[in-house]
Structure 1
Amino acid sequence: MQSLNVPSSANQRGLSSSRFHVFQRDYERYEGVPRLNIYRLRLLFTLVFFFLTYESWAHILTHRGPWDNANAAAWFMWGSYSVISVIGIRRPLKVRPIVLFEVVYKVAWLSVVAYPLWVKQELIGSPAESMTRVFIWVVLPIVAMPWRYFLRTHVWGAPAVRP
């Protein structure tokens, strides 16, 4: 019988490196973050790049006339996020704070603006309806964010843990 090339810790848990390597923590390349989280972050940044880049920059570059300050800030924020997403595809752990920013502002907006309208059954047909349809996708960055790693390094200030 041919033996598998599996680390002893994976053998003890009954994991094969070929089937379950995405669930294992990668201390050498990703500071102990499981590869699955890295793949989720890369997918998130890829989706942001493809869905946000064209729309935001086309709007910015073809805009005529004076800008409304709040509207301009929103378009340039989304355009900037599309540029930063390129860095996130290559180095996902370096741009985690931008994911947290996205989660916080979208959840806050949904909680303060959309939820009260929804409770009063006034969301459908309101100006907030289209923004709610966009912001409800905040589920993706919530799932993609390596929360344990983020809390350990940014909140508790602990260094990356080695096995």
Structure 2
Amino acid sequence: MIEVSLFRLYSLRALYLLVVVGLGITVWPGVIHHEQPWELKEGVVQCMLAAFSALSVLGLRYPLQMLPLLLWEMLWKSIWLIVIALPLWSTGQMDESTWATASACLIVLIFPFGIPWRFVFAHYIKKHGDRFH
């Protein structure tokens, strides 16, 4: 069993807290008090972000058990930055909206420093998976 240091556990909790506070300030007010109906995609995005922040509250108490949540966040933001933002930026075609989204996604750069990678490797790569039948 890989032992995760107390410092690393608090680093994980800090990442979850960042998500909870950040989305609590930016997303939840709109979810609770939106005055006009959202377009389909905007509604999906806002509700997914709200659910992500709500689940991140569990990460404050169970940082290792909720680790896949942070891995998902890091992965989707990295994919978006590489597949969408980088090509637009390299060709000088980023508009104001894309810049705003890219700026928000760049927070993902701090995630690798808080994630206990030996634990991730031991529990999600090296460890045998659950049986299928």
TM-score of the aligned structures, taking structure 1 as reference length: 0.72
Pair member with larger Rg? 1
User: Which protein has greater RCO, CA pairs closer than 8 Å, 6+ apart?
Assistant: 2
Q: Which residue of 1 aligns with 2:131?
A: none
CA distance, structure 2, for counterparts of residue 120 and residue 126 of structure 1: 15
Q: Which residue of 2 aligns with 1:74?
A: 45
Matched, 1:144 2:89: no
Deviation at 1:131, TM superposition (A): 0.2
The letter for the 2-side match of 1:53 is: G
Deviation at 1:74, TM superposition (A): 1.0
Q: Which residue of 2 aligns with 1:35?
A: 6
Q: Percent identity?
A: 27
CA distance, structure 1, for counterparts of residue 5 and residue 105 of structure 2: 27
Q: Which residue of 2 aligns with 1:18?
A: none
Matched, 1:90 2:90: no
The correspondence of residues 1-163 of structure 1 with structure 2, limited to 5 A, is: 31-123=2-94, 125-157=95-127
Structure 1 unaligned blocks of 5 or more: 1-26, 159-163
Q: Which shifted more, 147-156 or 98-107?
A: 147-156
Deviation at 1:73, TM superposition (A): 1.3
| Partner-residue secondary structure (3-state), 1:75 | helix
The structure 1 segments of at least 4 consecutive aligned residues displaced by more than 3 Å after TM superposition are none
CA deviations 1:3-53 (Å, max 9, x no partner) are xxxxxxxxxxxxxxxxxxxxxxxx7xxx50122211110111111111111
How many residues in Structure 1 have an aligned counterpart in Structure 2?
128
| Partner-residue secondary structure (3-state), 2:38 | coil
TM-score of the aligned structures, taking structure 2 as reference length: 0.87
The letter for the 1-side match of 2:14 is: L
Q: Which residue of 2 aligns with 1:13?
A: none
